Every structure is written in C-alpha cells, then in structure tokens.
Copies of this chain bind each other. A is one copy, B any other.
C-alpha cells in the first residue's frame, strides 16, 4: 500500500468492516436457509405466484452468484455469465436435502474465500462475470440485495400457502 492510499484510509470513516459485512451476509444466508426449510418439498420446486420462478430456482440464482462472485472478487478471474449454473441449468438439485447441502457447502466456501479478499479490492473497479462494470463493493452489495429481494418474494409464496415464514429480523 502506498502512502496516499494510507492517508485516504486514515480520513475515511469506517462504515462497516470486511468481517462485519461477511457476518451481515451470512446472517442473511442463515435466514434464507430457514426459508428453504420452511417450504414443503414439492412447493419448493414448483410453487409460484404471478408466473414468477419457484423458490428453488431463485436459490440457485443466489448460489450462482455467491461463491463464483467472491472467487472473482478474490482472484480477479470471473466465470462467464453463461457458465453460471442458473443459466446453464446443469447439476440442478431436485430435493430439498440436496439444495440445503449445496447451501451449506457455499457457506463454508464463502467463509474460506472472504479473508482472502485483498484490502484494496472493495474500492477497485472491475467487470463482474465479464459483463457488469463497477466497484467491487457494489457487486457484493448487489448479491446480498438480490438475495433479500427474491427472498421477500418467497415470503409471499409461504404466506399464500398458509405457512408462517421465519422472522425477517432473526439472523441467528
């Protein structure tokens, strides 16, 4: 790190640390896991409101962004968009158990990759998945926000099935 970037860091307030952002994301991911568990097996793969995708397909989108995304953040090498599992539709889980297994694998991989993110990367510009230009923090926030957004959709699916969803505020 050169002196000018050190000087910049000394004057910018700390909004959130990398460690806290990981915990923030994993807290959301624990909630998403509870949503997966709350769905009846068949509804997870088939139920829809308003012609939108079943929750299992949304979960595959989250998984397609998470580990491949953080790998891109760490290495600067990005999987191409058409290689993302929810686009290629290869190796798609067909049971809740298998989907939860994939989720838990991703949890461990994210935890392993995150501390390898070079300090300067959050503020660096890159092209996510070879397609989207922006600063790296923006990509990470996008993946988290996209999960929150589509999970909100799954809350409606559960309510319309007469199932009480897990509390939004509980991230334990």
The answer to whether B10 and A137 have CB atoms under 8 Å apart is: no
Of the candidates B16, B119, B123, B152, the one whose C-beta lies within 8 Å of that of A152 is B152
Known contacts A9-B10, A16-B15, A18-B13: A168-B156 contact under CB 8 Å: no
Of the listed stretches A38-46, A48-56, A76-84, A87-95, name the one at the interface; the rest are far from the partner chain: A48-56
A155 within 8 A of B: yes
- In the bound assembly, the distance between CA atoms of A107 and B112 in angstroms comes to 39
Residues of B within 8 A of A160 (CB): 49-50
A-B contact pairs, 21 of them (CB 8 A): A9-B10, A9-B11, A12-B14, A13-B122, A14-B14, A15-B17, A15-B122, A16-B137, A20-B135, A49-B49, A50-B156, A50-B161, A52-B155, A52-B159, A145-B148, A149-B152, A150-B152, A152-B155, A153-B153, A153-B156, A156-B157
- In the bound assembly, the distance between CA atoms of A119 and B11 in angstroms comes to 9
Q: Is the interface of A mostly helix, strand, loop or mixed?
A: helix
Give the Cβ gap from A39 to chain B, nearest Cβ, in Å: 14
